[in-house]
């Protein structure tokens, strides 16, 4: 093992509990799609179930079928809707709820339900301004009427486009649309409503409705822009020093001879590369105790190199931190011209996940 992702499971619990205090009158369901944003589906799901979470949101049928293995009677919603007939039948029979995003999905689900003589559990996604998934707000009443007649509809949902920006007017335009939709549907019984994602919870109680659907904030992502002290960092990506050598002035390092030494230098090679989720575009620093070392040369598939000339005590077998306690994943992501969600969800399978209750624990 030459790279590890330390996952502070106690901080996952704290983040979940903190968001519950922010929306005390709403249920907090959690998005665990994409392997729980890269943190490991099974462990994260079990942790949240033990913390009292009963509702989960996933992207695909395969993720949903994994989720219900964790515990019986979990409420699981498949956000991307129907994929194929066979998997849809399996979802219906297992009580997994399918999110309907358009008219075609609605008709398909009704037809499948009729064929197996079992009403599918479902949610209806209404587009209030993201323009990615969902039916148009104008079609809501007739659409829900048809769905309610043929299926078990439990949730009406939409998704905020700009919730990470508290000042964005779009948040309030979407909220206004969603409230109008809710009023149109007040004669239908048994419906819950959901609009808020992670940052939507922090916009205030007007956005909360019956169920909130946090993802990233549970996992300590996007904390830089948030002032709330109750949210904790969860991740620390670390790599092992596997080689050290001296190079002379004028020598090159890495593919394409991108880096040329300006003086005699000491170079360390780390056992992590872009196949492990360290983006090739990254050109920042790594950290060891109170020292920081610049990455030099191109990051390759399995390896990267750092200049340790200013601290020659670094030894083979030492672990350096890529992001975590020394620098936030958010700042790291910005140096890769991306966001923390992409970084965490792309961490490779070779990186060993180690679950700890504090970052002082030794891997």
Which residues are designated catalytic?
33, 255
For residue 145, the surrounding DSSP H or E stretch is helix 140-150
Evaluate the CA torsion angle 246, 249, 250, 253 in order and state its sign: positive
Q: Which residue has the tokens 């300006």?
A: 262
Cα separation, 120 vs 101, whole angstroms: 15
Alpha-carbon separation of residue 322 from 232, 291, 296, 345 (angstroms)? 18, 12, 14, 16
Give long-range contacts, CB 8 A cutoff, 24+ apart: 174-180: 174/128, 174/129, 174/130, 175/206, 175/207, 177/128, 177/129, 177/137, 178/126, 178/128, 178/209, 180/137
Question: Pick from 148, 149, 147, 127: which is nearest to 138 by CA?
Answer: 127
**What is the C-alpha separation between 101 and 358, in angstroms, rounded?**
41
Q: Which residues pair with 212 in a beta bridge?
A: 28
Which tokens hold the place of 275?
A: 């196949």
Distances (CA, A) of 155 to 74, 174, 363: 15, 17, 43
* Beta strands at 319-323 and 235-247: parallel, antiparallel or unpaired: antiparallel
User: What's the longest Cα–Cα distance across the chain?
Assistant: 78
Neighbours of 5 (CB within 10 A): 25
The whole-angstrom separation of Cα 60 and Cα 79 is: 7
Q: How far is CA 128 from CA 132, 157, 282, in A?
A: 10, 10, 36
- Measured over the CA atoms of residue 333, residue 339, residue 341 and residue 345, the dihedral's sign is negative
């Amino acid at each position: 093992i030459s790279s590890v992702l330390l996952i502070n499971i106690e901080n996952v619990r704290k983040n979940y509990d903190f968001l519950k205090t922010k929306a005390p009158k709403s249920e907090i369901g959690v998005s665990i799609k994409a392997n729980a944003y890269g943190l490991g589906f099974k462990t994260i799901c079990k942790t949240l179930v033990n913390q009292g979470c009963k509702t989960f949101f996933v992207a695909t049928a395969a993720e949903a079928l994994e989720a219900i293995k964790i515990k019986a009677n979990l409420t699981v919603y498949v956000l991307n809707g129907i994929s194929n007939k066979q998997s849809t039948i399996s979802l219906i029979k297992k009580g997994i709820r399918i999110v309907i995003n358009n008219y075609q999905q609605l008709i398909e689900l009704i037809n499948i339900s009729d064929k197996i003589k079992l009403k599918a559990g479902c949610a209806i996604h209404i587009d209030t301004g993201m323009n990615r998934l969902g039916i148009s707000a104008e079609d809501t009443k007739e659409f829900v009427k048809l769905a309610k007649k043929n299926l078990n509809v439990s949730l009406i949902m939409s998704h905020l486009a700009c919730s990470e920006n508290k000042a964005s007017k779009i948040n309030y335009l979407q909220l206004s649309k969603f409230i109008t939709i809710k009023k149109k549907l007040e004669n239908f019984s048994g419906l819950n409503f959901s609009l808020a994602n992670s940052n939507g919870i922090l916009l205030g109680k007007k956005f909360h409705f019956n169920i909130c659907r946090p993802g990233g904030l549970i996992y300590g992502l996007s904390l830089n822009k948030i002032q709330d002290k109750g949210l904790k960092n969860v991740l620390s990506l670390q790599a092992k020093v596997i080689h050290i050598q001296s190079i002379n002035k004028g020598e090159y390092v890495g593919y394409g001879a991108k880096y040329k030494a300006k003086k005699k230098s000491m170079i360390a090679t780390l056992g992590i590369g872009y196949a492990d989720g360290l983006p090739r575009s990254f050109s920042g620093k790594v950290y060891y105790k109170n020292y920081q070392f610049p990455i030099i040369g191109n990051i390759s598939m399995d390896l990267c190199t750092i200049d340790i000339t200013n601290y020659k005590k670094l030894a083979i077998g030492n672990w350096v931190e890529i992001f975590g306690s020394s620098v936030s994943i958010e700042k790291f992501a910005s140096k890769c011209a991306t966001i923390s969600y992409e970084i965490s969800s792309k961490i490779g399978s070779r990186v060993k996940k180690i679950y700890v209750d504090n970052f002082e624990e030794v891997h």
